[in-house]
Chain A
Amino acid sequence: MAIDPTEPVNMVPVNYENWGKLVKSWATGEDYVKNGHKYPVPKTLDEVKQQLKSAHTGLTLPARIQHLQVVVGRSDTLLLRLPPPDLVKASEKRLTTEDYALPAFYNDHYSGQAPTPLPDKAARMKFHAQRIGDYSIANCQ
């Protein structure tokens, strides 16, 4: 299929907690979801889709996702998780006119307060860089 490099990959779980439990199950081999299903590290996209359903993540994969790459991190190895360059550019383009949207669950931990909108493009680009810097090396801490 033709891939539009400016199309944002709308890969947003509805339930981040369940998605996080699924990732922790894959990472540790322990069952964090505990709903009767098995959650081995998936080997195919079909296995990913099935486990996303079984774990009630509400996360669906966009049609453009056609390959699976699983990288297992090690604490003695610097894992540079580089985002797709087309998506970085697509986000920058979007942030010229739109605010940065954080997942709503952050609000639940900050007194139901929605974040203050970023005032201008410069502030949004700064926050974008900080966020990318964070998730690229955070190692799921």
Chain B
Amino acid sequence: MTGAAQCPFGAGITGPLPGFRHLFGSPEPNERFAVDGADPRSSREALAVLRRRMRGLATLMNERPEGAAENPGIPSGYTYLLQLMAHDLVSTTMAFWAAEGPAPGVANALGAPLRLRTLYGDGPGACPFAFAPDDARDQYRSRFRFSAVGGDAPKTAAQYRDIGRAATPGVSASRGGRGEALIADSRNDQSALLSQVTGLFQMLHNAVLEMIPAPGTLPAKPLREATAARFALAREAVTLVFRTLLRDDLLPRLLDPAVRNAYAAAGGPLLEPRPEPGMPLEATHGALRFAHAMPRDRYQIGGFTDATLADLLRQSSTRSPNAMPLTAKWILRWSQFFPLPGQPAPNLSMRLGPQHSAMLLGDGLFDPIEEGDPAGLAFRDLMSAGLCGLRSVASLASRVVQAAPQLAARSPMLRDRAAREAALADWLGRDAETSLLTPADVAALAANPPLPFYVLFEAEREADGRHLGILGSLLLAETVHGALARERLASEVAGESLAQALNRACAFWRPGWHFPDPPAVHDMAGLVTWLARRLHLGAADPAFL
């Protein structure tokens, strides 16, 4: 029996991965991430080497010191807006680190990226649980469900601030608690922060829907059509706002300024004008993992001055069903997460660098894959990147130098392989007592670093952690701007403003009608301010602003 035949990953995982692609096309074997020249999926021996090295690297990455630098340009709310965006780009059916067997069936199940499928799913027909009945007859559902914050206080409209949650009768572990998040994409209930950013866009939908005149009393067919059109207009408007916020607020904070300007000028992808369909693995399982370095150890949130990240990750229907819905003290005051005029400074995300919060090691959060593996996200990210056949950093560097030479020239580590390897070796070899990496391991990882690690290393080394470096920026911008350009909504026209797009959507779905108070916002501060005004939440309890 050959080594390849013994490998638990077999040949299937190297075959087609529906919904995914590679940047610059499918790489040749010598263009992929490798361990000592071998594909880590090719034999048990290679897999063992990968696991040992990723254990060492993850151990180094899990040790962000207390007092590490904050990022003044990226308040913490953007960490979770970024996570929501990632969930609207990709939904992997099975983590690569968990996939075994010759054909594990790993695929990207999310088609039509950045159209807020992560919020809407396939709409009220396919995801009825996410939506509240329009009336007692429950013929149609148009508004998102919300749960009132827990506690015994009387329920006012301002207290419906948590996502919808339901009990799961018959599940002994939840003892009648709200163990089921009633949202289209359960990943969006991974923490009290992400669930509330999700809820913010659900509130936007409900507020927009309220502005659109309801159909009234009509015969069955016109009632059905008018209800569907009203929902479709609200969904399109919310999706337009979401995409505008990504383009105008989130991406500019994350990207290197030169890359940001280049994509703004191009109005679409730069590296691959006509790519194959699917999401590039080099982004989804490489660059985008940088977000895992952004969370703080502790947050000022609602009633807490020092809520730990581990606490926040436990505030979900899955992990704490009997503590759901969220109680008032966990409800976000948005000025603590986005910069609002006249309000104290918000929580800031952490500078980008190859180190994660130790809070991610918390009991039961991201347990070891196998005994002896490190807990946390770093090891999972590194193993998935090592097992999905990513294009190597060296290959990406050489392609980027050809495709975008002026941008590549701005990165010393991209244009000079020797300098890159020396810098990496210096970092990787700094604490062998902890990492157990041998000099040979360090040399091998420096020559062929896992992409999620390199993107963070580059950001720290070449951008002081304030934003992504050149390669990380290109991978993110190419993916997001590419998806925005290719998956344009019917009401979007290049060069037009959000207000114009909203008018175009109205003209299509309700000719002759316009939003009386259009949500023409271009940043998150604008969004929460608009919502506070529309939903009368300016003096809400729990505080909204």
Partner of B362, one of A33, A58, A114: A58
- Assess whether A17 is interfacial by the CB under 8 Å rule: yes
Complex: how many Å from CA A36 to CA B55?
10
Whether A112 and B321, one on each chain, are in contact in the complex, defined by CB atoms closer than 8 angstroms, is yes
Complex: how many Å from CA A94 to CA B61?
34
Most chain B CB within a 10 A radius of its CB, from A16, A50, A54, A113: A113
CB distance from A61 to the nearest CB of B (A): 11
Given known A-B contacts A111-B175, A112-B173, A112-B319, A105 and B434 have beta carbons under 8 A apart: no
- Assess whether B344 is interfacial by the CB under 8 Å rule: no
Chain B residues positioned under 8 Å from A107 (CB to CB): 314, 320, 323
Complex: how many Å from CA A50 to CA B436?
12
Interface residues of A in 69-123 (CB under 8 A from B): 104-105, 107-108, 111-114
Given known A-B contacts A15-B363, A58-B361, A105-B363, A113 and B371 have beta carbons under 8 A apart: no
Chain A residues positioned under 8 Å from B492 (CB to CB): none
Partner of A113, one of B177, B311, B364: B177
Complex: how many Å from CA A53 to CA B61?
11
- Per-residue B-contact encoding for A40-58, CB less than 8 Å = 1, 0 else: 0000000000100110111
Q: Name the residue of chain B whose CB is nearest to the CB of A62.
A: B66
Chain B residues positioned under 8 Å from A111 (CB to CB): 172-175, 177, 321-322
Q: Name the residue of chain B whose CB is nearest to the CB of A15.
A: B361
CB distance from A58 to the nearest CB of B (A): 4
Whether B364 and A108, one on each chain, are in contact in the complex, defined by CB atoms closer than 8 angstroms, is yes
Whether B173 and A14, one on each chain, are in contact in the complex, defined by CB atoms closer than 8 angstroms, is no
Chain B residues positioned under 8 Å from A64 (CB to CB): none
Q: Name the residue of chain A whose CB is nearest to the CB of B374.
A: A56
- Assess whether A37 is interfacial by the CB under 8 Å rule: yes
Interface residues of B in 315-340 (CB under 8 A from A): 319-323
Chain B residues positioned under 8 Å from A112 (CB to CB): 173-174, 177, 179, 319-323
CB distance from A46 to the nearest CB of B (A): 11
- Assess whether B433 is interfacial by the CB under 8 Å rule: yes
Complex: how many Å from CA A87 to CA B81?
41
Complex: how many Å from CA A58 to CA B357?
9
**Interface range on chain B: under 10, 10 to 19, 20 to 34, or 35 or more?**
35 or more
Given known A-B contacts A107-B314, A111-B322, A112-B322, A53 and B63 have beta carbons under 8 A apart: yes
Chain B residues positioned under 8 Å from A105 (CB to CB): 363-364
Chain A residues positioned under 8 Å from B52 (CB to CB): 36
CB distance from A48 to the nearest CB of B (A): 14
Whether B323 and A56, one on each chain, are in contact in the complex, defined by CB atoms closer than 8 angstroms, is no
Whether B323 and A16, one on each chain, are in contact in the complex, defined by CB atoms closer than 8 angstroms, is no
Interface residues of B in 340-370 (CB under 8 A from A): 358-359, 361-364
Whether A113 and B361, one on each chain, are in contact in the complex, defined by CB atoms closer than 8 angstroms, is no
Whether A34 and B361, one on each chain, are in contact in the complex, defined by CB atoms closer than 8 angstroms, is no
- Assess whether B59 is interfacial by the CB under 8 Å rule: yes
Whether B374 and A104, one on each chain, are in contact in the complex, defined by CB atoms closer than 8 angstroms, is no
Q: Name the residue of chain A whose CB is nearest to the CB of B321.
A: A112
- Per-residue A-contact encoding for B355-392, CB less than 8 Å = 1, 0 else: 00011011110000001111110000000000000000
Chain B residues positioned under 8 Å from A57 (CB to CB): 361
- Assess whether A18 is interfacial by the CB under 8 Å rule: yes
Partner of A14, one of B175, B310, B434: B310
Chain B residues positioned under 8 Å from A17 (CB to CB): 363
Whether B358 and A114, one on each chain, are in contact in the complex, defined by CB atoms closer than 8 angstroms, is no
- Assess whether A60 is interfacial by the CB under 8 Å rule: yes
Q: Name the residue of chain A whose CB is nearest to the CB of B436.
A: A36
Q: Which 8 A-B pairs have the closest CB atoms?
A: A113-B322, A58-B358, A112-B320, A35-B372, A58-B361, A105-B363, A15-B361, A114-B323
10 A-B residue pairs with CB within 8 Å: A14-B359, A16-B363, A50-B433, A50-B434, A53-B59, A56-B374, A108-B319, A111-B175, A112-B173, A114-B323
Chain B residues near A (Cβ < 8 Å): 52, 55, 59, 62-63, 66, 172-175, 177, 179, 310-311, 314, 319-323, 358-359, 361-364, 371-376, 433-434, 436
